[in-house]
Amino acid sequence: MRKRAEGLSWIDKGNSEQIQWAADYLRQRGSLSKEAATLGVRDYEALLKEGLYLEKSAEGVRTLQRMQAAWRQRIYRQPHHGRKPYTFTLPTQTKQHLSRQAEKCGHTETEHLIQLIDQGYEEAIRSSRRMKEVRAKERKDLPRLKAEVVFLQLREKELTKHLRESLLARFAAESVPAEELEQKVDREMSRVAREVRVLMDEQVKSNPRLKHMGI
């Protein structure tokens, strides 16, 4: 868990608005030391001294914690800070999860929610970028793959013709009757075609892009 800043050391020395706000916050709640209540908080060093004074008691520490939370809320609600307050309802269990995770990380619930949303958005952007890169590569490879498909289709026609001629010669040599020769060749060609189709289907499964090319 992130260590809590001691006293009022989280106050920005160069932020006069914040220093004045802190002094007013403590004065309005009667949380100033007797000396500061009498003389007032004149500068940053005096404010730090008040922070150390509050650190001496449990109630003072709680005041410091509430004070820091109040400043965060003030900043969040300022339009120029790039933030806008929203009201929404969370399921009880989700709210509990958010509270526990925020505490574990040393965040306020708002800070933790902002972090989760920003991380999710950044991951979505990265995922979209990766997808675009993959698609760009596919488009780049497409002409080559199409050329390969055309080549294979031409080779298929040549091989089919050669196979048919070979089967005719083989069956003729086996003295297959002429009236049965064509039928026997057709059956054998069909069997070979089925085996080739099985092999091609396996190739398509391993490379889905081939499916869109009519293979």
% of the chain at pLDDT higher than 90: 7
pLDDT on residue 58: 92
Residue 33 corresponds to which tokens in the numbers above? 């030391």
Helix ranges (H only) for the chain are 16-28, 34-39, 44-54, 58-76, 92-105, 109-173, 178-206
Q: What's the predicted TM-score (pTM) here?
A: 0.37
**CA 61 to CA 110: how far, in whole Å?**
22
Q: What is the mean pLDDT of the chain?
A: 80
Decide which of 133 and 150 is more confident. Answer: 133
Instruction: For the chain, give the percent of residues with pLDDT over 70.
Output: 86
pLDDT average, residue stretch 86-93: 82
Residue 41, pLDDT above cutoff 50: yes
Between 22-36, 146-160, 180-194, the lowest mean confidence (pLDDT) is in 146-160
Dihedral sign from CA coordinates of 113, 115, 118, 120: negative
Return d(Cα 109, Cα 99) in angstroms, integer. 6
